[in-house]
Amino acid sequence: MKVDLHTHTDRSDGTLSPTGLLEYLRDQGVEVASITDHDTLAAYNDRLDMQGLTLIPGVEFSANVGTTGVHIVGLGVEPNGAAMRTASERQQSARARRADAIALALEKVAGTGLRAAASDLAGGRVPGRPHFAQALVEQGLVKNSQQAFKRYLGKGKRGHVATDWPDMRTVNGWIREAGGVSVLAHPARYRLNRNKLLRLVREFCEVGGEAIEVISGKQDPATTRQLAEIAESHKLLASKGSDFHSPTQTWLKPGRLPPLPSMCVPVWEHLPLS
């Protein structure tokens, strides 16, 4: 079965509308999917019926573990209930404050128009860092988004501002309250050494985390094996997702994700698929 449980739309930093994304996934042969926008469930306000594609309501929350920013995906959540509403409102106000702070921090290099330019690129919603990156590209300050992160928005750079994201316990509480399963997103992307990664996973388990992404986007097989072993030894369910943002990411096709290693217990077997 083709499964992709981590994707983005233009309700956060993806480029396709929710319906456009589902059409794209269907055309790629994906049978079970989740839209997991950053800190918002706005996509689920749209009518999202797509023949042949089972959609699991989801979200990707930002959290802090000490000074490390991590992402936690909630799958199978009730998108319109009180828990997700409270959570997304809290996260969106943190995002709005952060956007102001990024614009201020970059005012000397990018001028006063950066916040408005980034908002425009976000379709009037609160801009995330990729929108700031794109705005910096359009100003000619950098040649691409990658460079914008490297020079201005990444950790340790002028435009990287501390954000009061909640801790993992809080986020897992929100997800549980909404009836969902919490998934530690893209564990290999935090650039932690093995000991630190294991410590993060243990802490995630201690605060009620239930699953990890064993496959995230384009990932080398050795990493997949390592994450599968971590999932097994910590009795975590396994998820997989492309972290799709745009069809221009040609190296990353949602329909082409490899299967989970056989030792894994797939998280979707523990979710109601209606």
Alpha-carbon span 118 to 266, nearest angstrom: 38
End-to-end CA distance of the chain: 15
Q: Which stretch binds ligand AMP (CB under 6 A): 26-34, 122-130, 218-226, 234-242?
A: 122-130
39 part of the interface to Mn ion, by CB under 5 A = no
129 part of the interface to ligand AMP, by CB under 6 A = yes
Closest residue to Mn ion, judged by C-beta, is: 71
Binding-site partner at residue 119 among ligand AMP, Mn ion, none, CB < 5 to 8 Å by type:
none
**Nearer to ligand AMP by C-beta: 17 or 145?**
145
DSSP calls for 247-261:
TT-TT--GGGPPPPP
Binding ligand AMP (rule: CB under 6 A), the pick from 4, 5, 11, 13 is 13
Residue 231: other Cβ atoms inside 10 A: 26
Binding-site partner at residue 152 among Mn ion, ligand AMP, none, CB < 5 to 8 Å by type:
none
Q: Any idea how long the chain is?
A: 274
Helix (H, G, I), strand (E, B) or coil at 238: strand
Rounded to an integer, what is the distance from CA 114 to the centroid of its chain? 24
**Pairing mode of beta strands 211-216, 237-241:** parallel
Site for Mn ion in 48-107 (CB under 5 A): 60, 71
CB 59, min distance to Mn ion, A:
10
Binding-site partner at residue 268 among ligand AMP, Mn ion, none, CB < 5 to 8 Å by type:
none
Burial of 233 (0-12, 13-18, 19+ CB in 10 A): exposed
Radius of gyration from C-alpha coordinates of the chain:
18
CB 274, min distance to ligand AMP, A:
28
Alpha-carbon span 204 to 209, nearest angstrom: 5
CB 189, min distance to Mn ion, A:
7
Contact criterion met (CB below 8 Å) for 34 and 13:
no
Binding-site partner at residue 126 among Mn ion, ligand AMP, none, CB < 5 to 8 Å by type:
none
The C-alpha angle with vertex 256 and arms to 251 and 257, in degrees rounded to 5, equals 100
Alpha-carbon span 84 to 78, nearest angstrom: 7
Alpha-carbon span 126 to 146, nearest angstrom: 21
149 part of the interface to ligand AMP, by CB under 6 A = yes
245 part of the interface to ligand AMP, by CB under 6 A = yes
**Nearer to ligand AMP by C-beta: 28 or 62?**
62
CB 14, min distance to Mn ion, A:
7
CB 62, min distance to ligand AMP, A:
6
243 part of the interface to Mn ion, by CB under 5 A = yes
CB 204, min distance to ligand AMP, A:
19
**Nearer to ligand AMP by C-beta: 69 or 261?**
69
- DSSP code of residue 166: P
**Nearer to ligand AMP by C-beta: 152 or 228?**
152
Site for ligand AMP in 186-215 (CB under 6 A): none
DSSP calls for 57-104:
-EEEEEEEETTEEEEEEEES--TTSHHHHHHHHHHHHHHHHHHHHHHH
CB 52, min distance to ligand AMP, A:
28
